[in-house]
Every structure is written in structure tokens, then in C-alpha cells.
Amino acid sequence: VSFLKELNREFPDMKTALTTNGSLLGEYAEGLAEANLHSLNISLDTLDPVKFAEVTRLGDMDRVIFGIRAAVGAGLRNIKLNTVLIRGFNDGEIGTLMDFAKKERVLLRLIEFMPLEDDVWSEDAFISGEEILRMLPDGDSWKAEKHDSELSGPAKYYTNEKTGDSIGIITAVSNHFCKHCNRLRVSATGKLRTCLFAPDETPMRHLILDADREGLRKLILGSIKNKPRCWNDVRTGHQQMSGIGG
């Protein structure tokens, strides 16, 4: 939170977004609102406490729900719930998740299951964005929003003509957006990663510690040139999302 506040003071026009599992939001929501966070993505794959414990290993669903409420209560803007839809795991929960998101006044986004880890991903478990759309309650009432806003990111948004509800679908696999991707990730240990699927990371901590701006600039520009055109070009099948940070 202190880093975000500093960032916002230094670069007031920069938009900051945070992706989190929500476990500590109850504690930090007020501070994040004070830091003028622009948008908040909370990962929530299930509302079944048993499945939640299974998929997060140590997670506490009540704590996450408390955190979501704290974030809304603190006035944080653009709060989205991110749900990776997996056949046989949470595909029966779409209606429940939609009701929950509506009640908590946050936006739900359903995401295709990405083949990062061969040990957990399978074709059978994969549900395409087209199928997700067909699975939504109220079938034909969902219409694609004509002009996605600058906040859309990789999601395509749909509005329910009957209820006015909105939902986002992220087709990270079936209709990937790699050629438009401008994401670079820096890990907590100061390593630069150009793609979720790429196994390589470039250490930049030494340049950060030396405040070597020119060195950093060169390293970042060099890395951008090596961004893949498609995730499938660099996929190893051994990337763990939990180790990358989503």
C-alpha cells in the first residue's frame, strides 16, 4: 500500500491496477482506496467452501468474501471478480457466481482455462468462450457491448437485454489477444517476464538497486522485442500460475 501511495504521488496520471486472491483485502482495502487504486481484480473460482479449500490449498473463503465487501465499502473502483471456468469443477456455479457478483455490486469475468500446467490442464476441462456464452442463464438475452471501454482489457463484455446485467468473458485461449498484449511482469524478486507462458525471466534487480535508468531502459526495450506473438510459441506446460501472479 505504501508503494502504491508513493507511485501515485510520483505519477498522478498513471493508472494502477491490482490483482489479488483477496485474502488480505479486509485489512488493506481502506489503504488501497487512499492510494487511489484505479481497478481491482479478485480471483475467485468457486463459492463452494470445500472446493475453495481444495483449489487454494490454504485459502479461507469467508475471508475473501469479507475482503470483497471491505473493498466495495472502502469505495474502491472497478472491482472485478475473475473466475477461471473449468468443466467438472465449477461449470455448475455460473448462476451462483453471477448472483453473488450482482449482490456484492462487482463485475464478474469468466476466463478460459489456460494450458499453463500439463499436470492440471486437459482438453476435457477446457470450456471455450463461445460455450461459456451459451451456458449463461437467459441464453439469447446476452448481447455483446459495442464499444468496450478502455477498462475492458482483454475481456469482451456482454449485457443482458432483459436485466441490464453485465458480464465479461476472457478468451485467453480460443481467441487470444497476444498480438495486442502490452503486459510485462516484474516478480517480487526483481525479474522481468514478458509473457505468462514464457519460461524465461530476466534479472533486473541489480539495475534497480543501482538506480541505473539507462540500463533498465535498454533491458526492458530488449525484452519487449522478444515478446511472443502467441502463447503457443513459448508454452512449456510447466508454468505455475501461482508462481507468476496471474
Specify burial of residue 146 (Cβ count, 10 A radius: 0-12, 13-18, 19+): exposed
Site residues (CB under 6 A) for ligand SF4? 176-178, 181, 183, 195-197, 228, 231
Query: Which grid coordinates belong to 143?
Result: 448481447
**Helix boundaries (H) for the chain:** 2-10, 25-34, 49-56, 61-73, 94-104, 129-135, 205-209, 213-225, 241-244
Give the residue among 80, 74, 78, 3 at the shortest CA–CA distance from 34: 74
User: Smallest gap, in angstroms, from Cβ of residue 156 to ligand SF4?
Assistant: 14
CA–CA gap between residue 79 and residue 245 (Å, rounded):
18
User: Smallest gap, in angstroms, from Cβ of residue 222 to ligand SF4?
Assistant: 17
CA–CA gap between residue 211 and residue 216 (Å, rounded):
8
Question: Residue 183 or residue 213: which is nearer to ligand SF4 going by CB?
Answer: 183
Query: Which grid coordinates belong to 16?
Result: 494502477
Contact 235, 228 (CB under 8 A): no
Question: Residue 31 or residue 228: which is nearer to ligand SF4 going by CB?
Answer: 228
User: Smallest gap, in angstroms, from Cβ of residue 121 to ligand SF4?
Assistant: 14
Which DSSP category does 46 fall into? -
Contact 112, 173 (CB under 8 A): yes
User: SS3 of 139, please?
Assistant: helix
Question: Residue 110 or residue 178: which is nearer to ligand SF4 going by CB?
Answer: 178
Place of cell 510520483: 10
User: Smallest gap, in angstroms, from Cβ of residue 1 to ligand SF4?
Assistant: 26
User: Smallest gap, in angstroms, from Cβ of residue 230 to ligand SF4?
Assistant: 7
Contact 39, 17 (CB under 8 A): yes
User: Smallest gap, in angstroms, from Cβ of residue 213 to ligand SF4?
Assistant: 25
In single-letter form, the type of residue at position 229 comes to R
Question: Residue 133 or residue 241: which is nearer to ligand SF4 going by CB?
Answer: 241
Question: Residue 106 or residue 114: which is nearer to ligand SF4 going by CB?
Answer: 114
Question: Residue 55 or residue 244: which is nearer to ligand SF4 going by CB?
Answer: 244
Place of cell 499453463: 116
User: Smallest gap, in angstroms, from Cβ of residue 221 to ligand SF4?
Assistant: 17
Question: Residue 97 or residue 111: which is nearer to ligand SF4 going by CB?
Answer: 111
